Amino acid sequence: MKKIFSILTTIIISVSMILIGAGCKTTAAQPAVPEFNVGDFEISLPENWEGSKKEELDSVIESLNEAGQSQLADGVEDMKDYLVFFGYDTEMIEQNDTVNIFTITGESKVVLSLKEYMDLQYESAAEQYEKAGYIFDIVEQEIVAIGDNKEVGRTIFEQTVESKEIKVAQYIVKDGSDCWVLTFSIDPEQFDENLQDFDETIETFKILD
């Protein structure tokens, strides 16, 4: 993992997507077998979702522009230096509607425990939101076993920026001194019906040697 990162920057990514918009209603989808091998890890996304690794983001930006999603394309362009992986719901692209997104970012050389890392980062995020006059509310937070990962920091939070609401499922997997931050950002009205699919997606996340 080469990029030094933080949860706060990850949240900023999702904020930028809030201002673009997040989602019409869609039926819950099931992940298939792992289909994306990114070198450091492999993962599967739910049905109707597409994903790309960092080296492919330029082609994703081009495809989004061609699909009439110029604002989303601009958001990916602005954040591509920080993204390890980017995914989106293609069904919404076909409907020419706003899009729910999935991102993976990473931070290396983390000496804190997973719990200490989560406490520090989310406390910092809450402080920054308060200073900006935005709403940041953690709904649920726990460390659980998901798939092959014995300890996953799973946090569900709601945020409001400039009257735009979004709900986020964020998962942190710590491997040695590396932290992987996997984030689904979605419209609050469709969050509950998709949460199981998000958990099942994280079950397919496997760090490769």
CA distance 17 to 187: 11
Q: What is the pLDDT of residue 11?
A: 58
Task: Work out whether the CA dihedral 199, 178, 83, 56 comes out positive or negative.
Answer: negative
Name the CATH superfamily for 7-24+36-207.
Mog1/PsbP, alpha/beta/alpha sandwich (3.40.1000.10)
Kind of pairing, strands 49-53 and 164-175?
Answer: unpaired
pLDDT by residue (tens digit) across 9-32?
555 555 545 444 444 444 455 554
Q: What is the pLDDT of residue 10?
A: 59
Q: What is the pLDDT of residue 90?
A: 81
**pLDDT band at residue 7 using 50, 70 and 90 as cut-offs:** low
CA distance 156 to 137: 9
Residue among 131, 121, 132, 52 nearest 90 (CA): 52
Q: What is the pLDDT of residue 19?
A: 47
Domain ranges of the chain: 7-24+36-207
pLDDT by residue (tens digit) across 162-178?
888 889 999 999 999 99
Coil, strand or helix at 17: helix
Among the ranges given (58-62, 77-81, 92-96), the one the predictor scored with the smallest mean pLDDT: 92-96
Q: What is the pLDDT of residue 26?
A: 45
Please give the mean pLDDT across all residues of the chain: 83
Average pLDDT of the residues in 48-57: 91
Provide DSSP, 136-204: EEEEEEEEEEETTEEEEEEEEEEEEETTEEEEEEEEEEEETTEEEEEEEEE-GGGHHHHHHHHHHHHHT
**pLDDT band at residue 39 using 50, 70 and 90 as cut-offs:** confident
* List of residues 6+ apart from 56 with CB closer than 8 A: none
Inter-CA distances, 161 with 20, 41, 139, Å: 11, 32, 17
